[in-house]
Amino acid sequence: MDLKTLEDAMQAFVESKGWYRADSRRPQTPRSLAISLVLEASEVLEHFQWREQSSDTAALASELADVLLYLLQLASLHQIDLGQAALDKLKTNAGRQWDT
């Protein structure tokens, strides 16, 4: 699946819940999305607390999906092509040097 298809599905879901409306109890503002992204990333981290591998792959997949969806939504609100941004970052990183 490409990112555009996923982004469209995410947007349709959010709109169906009314979360973009001004009176929403779950406003989808850049700030609220950034906070939610970090909170979901912390839930990913919990899978590795005190161990090197996640003991529940399905639960980990669900948390990773939450991170991806918040990231896509945040990028979309800022008109950022996340796929292109990732390619640009890989190109930048290719020219960097790290200690080995």
User: What confidence tens digit (pLDDT) does each residue in 33-70 have?
Assistant: 999 999 999 999 999 999 999 999 999 999 999 999 99
Structural domains in the chain? Answer: 3-83 (1.10.287.1080)
pTM: 0.90
Look at residue 32 and give its three-state secondary structure.
helix
In the predicted structure, residue 99 carries a pLDDT above the cut 90:
no
For the four alpha carbons of 13, 17, 21 and 22, in that order, the dihedral sign comes to: negative
What whole-number distance in Å separates Cα of residue 56 and Cα of residue 6?
24
